[in-house]
Structure 1
Amino acid sequence: MNIRADIFSRLSRTDAHLFYLPPCPTPPFHSPPPQKRSPLHSRDKSKEKNVLITGTSLNGIGFESARVIAKHANLVIMTGHNSDRLNLAADTIKRELPSANIRPLILDLSSLDAVRKAAGEVNAFPEPLHVLIHNAAAPIGPFKLTVDNLESQVATDHICPFLFTKLVAPKILSARTEHYTPRVIFVSSIGHGIGTGVNFDTLGRPDPTRYVPMEAYYQAKSANVLTAIELSKRSKGQINAYSLHPGGIYTNIMNPASAPKEAVEGLHKLGLLEADGTPRKDATLKTMGQGAATTLVAAFDPRLDDKSGAYLNDCVAANELIGPPSSDPANAERLWNLTEQIIGETFTF
C-alpha cells in the first residue's frame, strides 16, 4: 500500500492534507480502500493562522477547505456574495465545530466597488491575515457583463481577486515574521493550458462576438497562474504565491441541475461528463476532500516555502504542467500591468 495514497484517499475524515509528508511520488487518487489508521503524525502548520477563503458555498471545495482549516486555525473568514448561502455554510461548520472561529464576510467579486468595501472591512479587523485563498469562480455561461462592463468570468476569477489582493496586501504583509511568510493561493485549473492563454485585446474590452464560454474559463484560469507567478516576483519574498489545479470534482459547477448548459457541454467535451451531465464512468474524479487537498497543501505545506510562484497538481509542485502561454514571464508582466490599468490602481511593494 502506498502510504501517501492511503492518506490522501480519506482526507475528509482524517484531515491528512495537513500532515507533513516525506518527499514521494504524486498520490494516485484512484487508490484502494485505506487502512484504518495512518502511521504518520500531524505537523499542523495552520495552527494560530488567520485564513480568508473566497467561494465557500456548500457542496464545493471552498467549503470543504474552510471546514478543515477551521479545525486548526485561529480564524477562518468565509466569503460569499449571497448572505443566505454564506451564513448557511458558516452555520454548518459551526454545528460540526462549535469552538471554531468563523467570520462570514460579504464579498461580491463581480463588482469593483463591492470588493473595495469588503477589503475595507478586512483591513479594519484587528488580526493579521496569514493566508488568502482565491477559490471563488463565476459560472461558465452565456456572455454577461458586470456592473463595471467587464466579462463576468474574467472579472470574478481574475480582475476582482487581483484588486482584493492589492487592497488587503498590508494586512497580509502584517503577518510576516522572521520565520513565516504569508501566502496567497489561486485555485486555477488544468484548463489554463487548454486554450491559448489570456486574450489581452478583450480583457478590459469585452467583445460578445468573440465570446466562447469555455475559452473565457480557460483565459481566467491562465490569468490565475500568471498572477501567482508575477505576485511572487514583485513581492520579492514578502509573499509566497501559488496556483493550483484541484482536480476533477463533481461540484456545483458540474451538476446539470445547477450548472449552465455551457458548462455541462464544455465538461462533456473534456471527457468528465456524459452528454446528459452525469459523471462519466471512466473519468477520474476526486472526492470533495481530495479536491480540497491541493489547496491546503498550497496554503500550509512548509516544503513549498522556497517554491513561491509554483503551480500545484495532486498536492505537489508541477511547474512542468504549466501551459506555455501561462508560464511566459512577459505575459505575466503584461497581464499585471493591464489589470492595474483596468482597476485604475497600481499594485506595488
Structure 2
Amino acid sequence: MAAVMPDSDSEDELPPGWEERATVDGSVYYVNHATKGTQWTHPRTGKKKVVSGDLPFGWEKCVSEDGKVFYVDHANRRTTYSDPRLAFATEEKEHAQDFRQRFDGSTMALQVLHGRDLSGKVAVVTGANAGIGYETAHSLALHGCTVVFACRDISRTQAAIDRIKEERAHAVCDVIELDLARLHSVRKFAASLKLRYKKLDMLVLNAGVFGLPFSLTPDGYETTFQVNHLSHMYLTLLLEPLLGQGSRVVVVSSESHRFANLSTTTLSQSALSPTSATHFWSMMAYNNSKLCNVLFGLELARMWEERGIIVNILHPGNMVSSNLSQNWWFYRLLFAIVRPFTKSLQQAASTSVYCATAPELEGATGLYFNNCCRCEPSKVAQDPELAQILWELSMSMIQAVIDPGEGTAAVDN
C-alpha cells in the first residue's frame, strides 16, 4: 500500500537558515547554516531525497579558476552556483508504488520532461508520424532520446521527422517501416530493429485505429483487433531480447475499455475477430480491442516483473483531435464539435511520456494511468482468467499466420 503523501509541496519548503545540496552520486543533504551541521533527511518532512546523476538537458558543470563549481545553462545562456538537479529531486521510496501525483490533465508532454536529459536512451513509438504518437516522439527527441518511428507511411514519417529537426537539428530520429495489419511486417520490423540497436529503453505501443467499417487484414483478422492489439502483442514479444532491467513498455489503451462486452464465457476467436459484417459494430470492436490492451499489459507486467521490465497502461484523453476519427464523417463531426473541450495533442501525449520516463515510476509496474495519475481499470480488465484466455487465443492466432509448422519459436523469436 502506498505511503500517505502530503497534498502539496508546501512541506518541502526549507526552514530559514537551511540549504539543500546534492552529492555527485545524487544523494541530497541539508545544511543548517546556524549550527553548521548537515543531515540526510529533510528538516520538515524527515524524508530522504535523491536526484538523477545526470544534469538536466542542456546544462554543463564547470569549475572556475579559483576552484568554485558552477553550472551553465547553454539553452538560456545563464550560469548559477546552485546544482540544477535539485529542482527535480524526488523522495526516496520505501516501496515501488510510493509516489505522489505531480501532473494532471492540463499538463503538456514537454512539461513532464522539463529538465530531463534522455541522451543515450532509445525509444520505439508506433504510429509516431501523426497525432498523439507524433507529440510523444517529438517530446522525447527534443530531450535527446533516440526515437525510432515505427510507421507504415515512410514519406509522411520522414516529413514528421523533418519538422522535429527544424526545431532541434541534432535530434536523433530513425524510421523503420511497420504495417500493423500484417504480422510478417511486424516480424520484419523487429528483425531490422535488432540489427540497428542492441537495447531498447522505451517501447510505446501507441498506434491504433477507430471507427473502421468491417474489414479483414491480409492476415484474415478483423482490422481493429489486429492493429490495436494482436500486432502490438506480437511486436512486444519479438522485442523482448532488447528489453532489460529498467526498460519500459507503455501500452496506450482507452477508458473505452470499460464498455467492452467480453467475458470469460464470451471470449473466443470469433468474438475477437468476426469473419463477416453480421452483428459487427465498429465502436464495440474498438472497446474490445482497448480491453485487450489492458488485459495484455497487466499480464505482461506480471510475467516480466522479475526481469525488472516495467509495463504500464494508460488512457491518453477523451476524443482528442487527431487522425483517429478520420474513418467516418459522423465521428469527424463529433470530434470537431467537442474539440474546444478536449485535450490538445501535447496534453494527450503527457501520460505516455510520463509512463515512459517518470523517475518515480521506477519499479512500479502493472498500473493504469489517466491524466498522469494512477487509477483503477475496470474489474473485467483485472480478471486473470480472462487475461489468460486472451493470451492463449492471441498466441494461437499469431502462430496460425506466421508459420504453423515452427511451433512457439515463430512467435517468440
Task: Please indicate the TM-score interval, normalised by the length of the shorter structure.
Answer: 0.7 to 0.9
Q: CA deviation at 1:348?
A: 6.8
Match of 2:180 among 88, 100, 109: 109
Q: Tell me the residue number matched to 2:306.
A: 237
Whose strand proportion is higher, 1 or 2? 2
Asked if the contact 2:149–2:176 (Cα under 8 Å) also holds between the matched residues in 1, the reply is yes
Residue 94 of structure 1: aligned partner: 165
Structure 1: which 5+ runs fail to align?
4-18
Does residue 188 (structure 1) correspond to residue 253 (structure 2)? The answer is yes
Q: Which digits, 9 at most, give the CA deviation of each residue in 1:4-48, with x for residues without a partner? A: xxxxxxxxxxxxxxx6777555755469xx9xxx9x995627342
> Is 1:211 the counterpart of 2:280 in the alignment?
yes
Code of the residue aligned with 1:102 in structure 2: it is C
Partner of 2:268: 200
Matched to 1:128, the amino acid is: K
Structure whose CA Rg is larger:
2
- Counterpart of 2:193 (choices 122, 127, 136) is 122
- Using a 3 Å threshold, how does the CA distance of structure 1 residues 21 and 259 change in structure 2: closer, same or farther? farther
2:316 aligned with 1:246, yes or no? Answer: yes
2:186–2:235 Cα contact (<8 Å) kept: yes
| Counterpart position of 2:49 | none
The TM-score, its normalising length taken from structure 2, stands at 0.68
User: Whole-Å Cα distance in 1 between the matches of residues 240 and 346 of structure 2?
Assistant: 29
In the alignment of these two chains, the number of paired residues is 306
Residue 338 of structure 2: aligned partner: 279
Structure 1 length as normaliser, TM-score?
A: 0.79
* Residues 262 and 165 (structure 1), Cα distance of their counterparts in 2 relative to 1, 3 Å cut: farther
Per-residue CA deviations over 1:218-251 (Å, capped at 9, x if unaligned) read 0111111111101111123322111100112211
Q: Is this contact kept in 2: 1:244–1:294, CA < 8 A?
A: yes
Q: Structure 2 CA distance, aligned partners of 1:299 and 1:233? A: 18
> How far apart in 2 are the matches of 1:102 and 1:293?
20
The CA RMSD measured in Å over matched residues stands at 2.9
Closer, same or farther in 2 for the Cα pair 1:317/1:263, shift >3 Å?
Answer: same
Which residue pairs with 1:8 in the alignment?
none
Q: 2:242 aligns with which of 171, 178, 192?
A: 171
Identity across aligned pairs (percent)? Answer: 28
Q: Report the secondary structure of 1:117's partner residue.
A: helix
| 1:142-153 correspondence runs (5 A) | 142-153=213-224
- Per-residue CA deviations over 1:296-325 (Å, capped at 9, x if unaligned) read 11101122223211111110221x2x1122
Q: Could you tell me which amino acid in structure 2 is paired with residue 50 of structure 1?
A: V
> Are the aligned partners of 2:148 and 2:175 in contact in 1 as well (CA < 8 Å)?
yes
Q: Secondary structure at the match of 1:143?
A: coil
* Structure with more contact order per residue of length (Cα contacts < 8 Å, sep ≥ 6): 1
* Structure 2 residue ranges without an equivalent (≥5): 1-7, 10-87, 92-98, 400-406
Q: Does 1:227 align with 2:296?
A: yes
